Amino acid sequence: MKKLIIVSVLFCTASVFAGTALAADDMAGMKMKTGAMDTASSTDTALTDAVVKKVDPSTGMVTLQHGDLKNIGMSAMTMAYKAKDTSMVKRAKEGEKVKVRVESVNGTLTIVKLEKQQ
């Protein structure tokens, strides 16, 4: 009886590993994105039109009224975002039209690029 159980366990284990290997081979040529919010490719650097609604230097937050942020799957809205650095907060002025790039940085939605519109 013990031999039958051992053989059955070994057979099941071998089947699972063989199935995993076959599945991995089927997907070998596919480009997969990792991370829950990592939806942008490294070459996708599109900027979104926005208006600066509020700047809070004490927290490093900038409130934006923005269009769709397609790279992170967010629709148009007004929301406060963490700025990547303090120089970005100092440059932002309330009421100013800008172009922005928002990304998830360590799980926090962060403005990684902010340019004044021309």
SS (H, E, C) 65-95: EECCEHHHCECCEEEEEEECCHHHHHHCCCC
| Total Cβ atoms within 10 A of residue 108 | 9
Q: List helix spans (H) across the chain.
A: 2-26, 86-91
Tens of pLDDT along the chain (118 residues)? Answer: 666 566 565 555 555 444 444 444 444 444 444 444 444 443 357 899 999 999 999 999 999 999 999 999 999 999 999 999 999 999 999 999 999 999 999 999 999 999 998 7
Residue in the block written with tokens 């790279």 = 71
